[in-house]
């Protein structure tokens, strides 16, 4: 049985009370590991280790920090098979998906921020003064200090490294609290950090839960200068309340209820494939997934049939089987939540064109947390399953007649993370993209990522942007110095 321990000051250790909690394999329901449960003293020890490492780490030249981050990227790639196995055991996702998305992005995230930090400029102004001698005003960037990093379970390594890479390259040290569902790759990364030569205390990992556990203690800790969080909106709101006592800097990547808009002139097959991917990738457990699909009326019926066929063609099964194209949900509890929406939609009169239940699978996968990819039509837009984030392989498809109607439908609701739109009319594509109240718009594509771009949501979908210089700016303070000449 694997043991995922805490990683503090460069050492692996059990929790202070020697308590553990189970780590389940979502594809089989089997317990695959024991996870060390952090105590308040463990949380304090991790923050203290990060604080003690800070003064030396921040004095490293940025080029040296960048070099170490590139070595971490190399370390992830050298051990990619172990990271793959760990990520799949934690999430149940198909190996084919984790091998092409999660693990490569773990390395890419370190490389992009190592590259960008080396070239980060600040600003300088020549200031006129009454005596004619003038003054110089210039900016200096400095690290924030100890950063608390709190991550979700859907893309564990991808989202962890997306945060710690810019934090570390800007001279901060971190204490990471992975999701209780997916402790493995964050822990394995501790070994890679050490092997790469990252000094002890720069990267620390504590395991546990949120409220009344190490997640909450980390947010409240007086020596933690900032919190970067990805997770549910209501969790972000709880973190905001805790962090308010010390007005900590916050970066929030929160929930979404994203729309896909398909115009009649779109490349039909590309739009079907694109919306099937944006609805069902990772079992619909990507914050960017389309749970609302709006299709121009002339192609609506044909599109629903084609999307339902694509849903039925997905194959749930063993992660190691290269033909598996649908993984399980993360937990039994999350499956009950998603099946609750399936039942509610049926009760509300939804027309179910695909799915609506659980697939029949042979042992041990019959004990996994699989649900069928599902396509609904016929519900009013104010139905809870069209307003609330479900975070499963399901979407509701509705027709529209005009561009203005499509924009109004997509902009409804409290979320504003992303949208995908499919049309051959690029003037209309830009017009609609400009009208959508979301942080990211994909046109004739989805989840196509340039890591230099701003990533984040509006409304209840988040605060701030990460990506490119936006991350480097979030993970640093800029100071202005004025020199009288
Ligand atoms: N916007 C994005 O980029 C993005 C990316 C991935 C996931 N998400 C969102 O994340 C959610 C799914 O992930 P999840 O279920 O792990 O989210 P979650 O909010 O339940 O948990 C996320 C993390 O927060 C911790 N946590 C929970 N309560 C806490 C508290 N009070 N104080 C401190 N930490 C606390 C959890 O232990 C976990 O590590 C979905 O809503 C999805 O939309 C958003
Ligand atoms: N932050 C990113 C993806 C988020 C996915 C949400 O589930 C990324 O691609 O950098």
Interstrand relation of 394-400 and 173-177 (parallel, antiparallel or unpaired): unpaired
Closest CA to 65 of 206, 171, 146: 171
Q: Is residue 443 part of a domain?
A: yes
Asked if residue 144 lies in contact with residue 476, where contact means CB atoms within 8 angstroms, the answer is: yes
Is the same domain home to 280 and 220? no
Q: Using CA atoms, how far apart are residues 126 and 136, in angstroms rounded to an integer?
A: 5
Is the same domain home to 140 and 240? yes
Residue count of the chain: 485
Q: Is residue 455 part of a domain?
A: no
Q: Is residue 370 part of a domain?
A: yes
Question: What CATH number does residue 81 fall under?
Answer: 3.40.605.10
Catalytic residue among 87, 253, 291, 296: 253
Q: What interhelical angle do 268-280 and 300-312 show, nearest 10? A: 50
Q: Is residue 50 part of a domain?
A: yes
Q: Is residue 456 part of a domain?
A: no
Does residue 1 have a pLDDT over 90? no
Is the same domain home to 250 and 340? no
Asked if residue 403 lies in contact with residue 428, where contact means CB atoms within 8 angstroms, the answer is: yes
Is the same domain home to 48 and 160? yes
Q: What is the mean pLDDT of residues 278-306?
A: 98
Is the same domain home to 343 and 205? no
Q: What is the pLDDT of residues 153-197, one digit of tens each?
A: 999 999 999 999 999 999 999 999 999 999 999 999 999 999 999
Angle value at C-alpha 205, between 286 and 89, nearest 5 degrees: 50
Is the same domain home to 248 and 281? no
Is the same domain home to 17 and 75? yes
Q: Respond yes or no on whether ipTM tops 0.90.
A: yes
The pLDDT value recorded for residue 294 is 99
Is the same domain home to 219 and 262? no
Q: What is the pLDDT of residues 349-382, one digit of tens each?
A: 999 999 999 999 999 999 999 999 999 999 999 9
First to last CA, the chain: 67
Is the same domain home to 444 and 471? no
Is the same domain home to 184 and 208? yes
Ligand of minimum distance to the alpha carbon of 278: 2
The pLDDT value recorded for residue 122 is 95
Is the same domain home to 235 and 352? no
Side-chain half-sphere of 229: how many Cα atoms within 13 Å? 28
Closest CA to 71 of 243, 168, 197: 197
Is the same domain home to 434 and 334? yes
Asked if residue 31 lies in contact with residue 24, where contact means CB atoms within 8 angstroms, the answer is: yes
Number of domains in the chain: 2
Ligand 2 neighbours (beta carbon < 6 A): 154-155, 159, 162, 286-288, 449, 455
**477 catalytic, yes or no?**
no
**Residue-range definition of the domain harbouring residue 126:** 2-254+461-484
Question: What CATH number does residue 365 fall under?
Answer: 3.40.309.10
pTM above 0.90, yes or no: yes
Ligand 1 neighbours (beta carbon < 6 A): 150-154, 159, 177, 179-180, 209-211, 215-216, 219, 230-232, 235, 238-239, 253-256, 287, 389, 391, 417, 457, 462
**Closest-lying ligand 1 atom to the alpha carbon of residue 252:** 1
Q: What is the mean pLDDT of residues 254-280?
A: 98
Q: Using CA atoms, how far apart are residues 351 and 383, in angstroms rounded to an integer?
A: 13
Query: Residue 324: helix, strand or coil by DSSP?
Result: coil
């Amino acid at each position: 049985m694997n043991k995922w321990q805490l990683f503090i000051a460069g050492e692996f250790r059990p929790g202070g009370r020697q308590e553990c909690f189970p780590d389940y394999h979502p594809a089989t329901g089997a317990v695959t590991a024991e996870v060390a449960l952090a105590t308040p003293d463990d949380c304090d020890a991790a923050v203290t280790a990060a604080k003690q490492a800070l003064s030396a780490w921040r004095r490293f030249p940025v080029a040296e920090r960048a070099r170490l981050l590139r070595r971490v990227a190399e370390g992830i790639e050298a051990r990619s098979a172990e990271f793959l196995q760990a990520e799949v055991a934690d999430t149940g996702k198909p190996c084919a998906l984790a091998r092409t998305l999660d693990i490569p992005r773990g390395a890419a995230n370190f490389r992009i921020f190592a590259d960008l930090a080396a070239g980060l400029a600040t600003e300088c102004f020549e200031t006129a003064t009454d005596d004619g001698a003038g003054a110089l005003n210039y900016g200096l960037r400095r690290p924030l200090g100890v950063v608390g990093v709190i991550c979700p379970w859907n893309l564990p390594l991808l989202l962890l490294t997306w945060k710690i890479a810019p934090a570390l390259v800007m001279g901060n040290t971190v204490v990471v609290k992975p999701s209780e569902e997916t402790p493995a790759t964050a822990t394995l990364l501790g070994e890679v950090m050490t092997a790469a030569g990252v000094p002890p205390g720069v990267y620390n990992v504590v395991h546990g839960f949120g409220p009344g556990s190490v997640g909450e203690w980390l947010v409240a800790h007086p020596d933690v200068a900032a919190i970067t969080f990805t997770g549910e909106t209501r969790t972000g709101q709880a973190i905001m309340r805790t962090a308010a006592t010390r007005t900590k800097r916050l970066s929030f990547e929160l929930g979404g209820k994203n729309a896909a808009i398909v115009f009649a002139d779109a490349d039909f097959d590309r739009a079907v494939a694109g919306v099937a991917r944006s609805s069902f990738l990772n079992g619909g457990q990507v914050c960017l997934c389309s749970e609302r699909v709006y299709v121009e009326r002339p192609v609506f019926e044909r599109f629903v049939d084609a999307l339902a066929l694509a849903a039925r063609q997905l194959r749930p099964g063993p992660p190691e089987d290269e033909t598996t194209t649908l993984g399980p949900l993360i937990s039994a509890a999350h499956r009950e939540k998603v099946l609750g929406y399936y039942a509610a939609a049926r009760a509300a009169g939804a027309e179910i064109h695909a799915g609506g239940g659980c697939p029949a699978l042979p042992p041990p996968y019959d004990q996994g947390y699989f649900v069928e990819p599902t396509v609904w039509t016929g519900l009013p837009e104010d139905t809870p399953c069209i307003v609330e984030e479900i975070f499963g392989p399901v979407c509701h498809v509705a027709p529209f007649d005009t561009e203005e109607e499509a924009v109004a439908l997509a902009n409804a609701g409290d979320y504003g993370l992303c949208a995908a739109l499919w049309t051959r009319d690029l003037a209309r594509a830009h017009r609609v993209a400009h009208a959508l109240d979301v942080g990211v718009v994909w046109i004739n594509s989805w989840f196509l990522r340039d890591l230099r771009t701003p990533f984040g949501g509006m409304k209840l979908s988040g605060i701030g942007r990460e990506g490119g210089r936006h991350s480097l700016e979030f993970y640093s303070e800029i100071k202005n110095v004025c020199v009288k000449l």
